[in-house]
Amino acid sequence: MFTAMRAERMEGLHFFSDQATGLEAIVAIHNTRLGPALGGCRYLAYNSVDDAMADAMRLARGMSYKAALAGLDQGGGKAVILRQPHIADRAALFEAFGRCIESLRGGYITAMDSGTSSADMDCIAQQTAHVTSTTHAGDPSPHTALGVLAGIRSAVRARLGQESLDGVRVTLQGLGNVGYALAQLLQAEGAELLVADLDQGRVRLAEEELGAQPLAPDAVYEAPCDVFAPCGLGGVINQRSITRLRCAVVAGAANNQLVEPALGEQLRMREILYAPDYVINAGGLLHVALTHRGVAAGDIAGRIRNIGSRLDSILEQSLAQGRSPAEVADRQAEQLLYDEDAL
C-alpha cells in the first residue's frame, strides 16, 4: 500500500466502515499544498478493495493537477464508496459517510461524482459542512460541459485552423449528464454529432432531440471525425485503441483518458492533438469550489470561459518545445504542486 502511495505521491489514504449502514469507503488525499483537498465521491461496484483504492488514488492525483492549473487554492482528493448489492437505506449510508468526512476536519471537501447525486450530497450535508454540489449549490455537470466546449473550440482552432464549430464532426463517447450537456452545446454551434452510449435510451434521445447519428460503442474509435470526445469513464486511450483512432483532435470530459503518460507523445507523433482532460474538464471543479467559497455566479462563469485560453497557452508551448500537450500540462501542474520556487 505504501509503495503505491509513494508512486502517486499521495499524502493520505483513509478507510471507513460503518456496520449499521454497510458503508465501506476510501478517501484519497493527494496534495494539500495549495489548499484543502477537494474532489468528488464515487458510488460504484468494484471488483476488489485494491481496485477501489487504485481508482481513488489515480483520481485524487488528477484532481490536484486540475485544481492547480485552474488557479484554485485547493488540493486534490477523491472518495469512493464501494457499492454493495443490497443497501437498506441509501440516505443513512450517505449520512454515515458525512460523519466520516467531518472526522477529517476540513482536510477533504466532497462533491457529486459517478453514481452519486445532489440528493446524496444533501444527506452528507446533514453531518458536515465540507460538501458541495448539494441541491442548493447546483449540479456541476453543465459547467463541466461549458469548459469542455471552450477546450474543443481552442483545439479545433489550433489543429484545423477553424474558428467556428459549424460542420465540425464530433464523436461523443458517453451521454451521461456531462456528455449530453456537451452534445446540446455542440449541436447549438452547428457541429455534426456521432454518439455512443451503453444506455440506448440516451442514444435515441440524442437522435430525436439533436439529430445525432448513433454508433455502436465499439465503433467510436474507428469512426472518421474531426474530434473524438470521451465523456464516460477514463482509460479509453490505450495501446490498442490509439491505433484505431481516425480523428484530428481528442478532447472530452472523461478523467484519466490516457492509460499511460507515453500515449500523449504517441498521439502527437500521429498528429492527433490531445487536449489534456484535466485542463478542459475543470469547469465543474471551478463551479463547486468557488460556489463553496461564495463567489458570484458571473465571476465563476468568467473563470470557466478562461479554460480555452489556458489550453491555447499549453498548445503554444507544446508546439514551441516539441513536446506533447499532456507532458506540458503535467510539468506546469507539478511545478505548482512540488516546486517551492513556483509559488
Residues carrying an active site annotation: 78
Backbone phi and psi for residue 218, each to the nearest 5 degrees, phi listed first = -85, -5
Q: What is the DSSP string of 232-301?
A: SSS--B-TTGGGT---SEE--S-SS-BSSTHHHHHHHHTT-EE--HHHHTTHHHHHHHHHHTT--HHHHH
Sequence-distant (6+) residues with CB within 8 A of 115 are: 42, 43, 44, 81, 83
Closest by CA position to 81, among listed 127, 113, 36, 37? 113
Written as nine digits, the cell of 313 is 497557452
CA dihedral 118→258→33→98, nearest 10 degrees, is 20
Backbone phi and psi for residue 80, each to the nearest 5 degrees, phi listed first = -130, 130
Dist. CA 28–CA 39, nearest whole Å: 9
Which residue reads 464549430 in cell numbers? 165
Q: Is 299 exposed, middle or buried (0-12, 13-18, 19+ CB in 10 A)?
A: exposed
C-alpha distance across the termini of the chain, in Å: 31
Written as nine digits, the cell of 328 is 506540458
